[in-house]
Amino acid sequence: MAEIADKRADRPSSEFAPGRFLREVYEELRKVVWPTWGELYRYTLVVIFTVVLLGIFIGGTDYLLEQLAKRVIYNGVH
């Protein structure tokens, strides 16, 4: 009998057990090293700066390609 129980313990359960899942999530979240407020502030500024910079780059590229397309396709006709 003990051998059967050991074999069952080694196999992952095919059933979804919400209580077990939530307990494991909680245990994993306890292992997380959360950023301090200072780190969070700096990371947020880096993300905002990067998004603005990429927005300017993409917008500028779009504008230049638009002007190029107008000159090539329409040959300067407005």
The pLDDT tens digits along the chain (78 residues) read 556 555 555 556 567 889 999 999 999 999 999 999 999 999 999 999 999 999 999 999 999 999 999 999 887 555
The C-alpha angle 54, 60, 61, rounded to 5 degrees, equals: 90
Q: How far apart are CA 46 and CA 52, in angstroms?
A: 10
Specify the DSSP element, H or E, that contains 17: none
The CA distance from 37 to 41, in Å, is 6
**Contact between 35 and 43 (Cβ < 8 Å):** yes
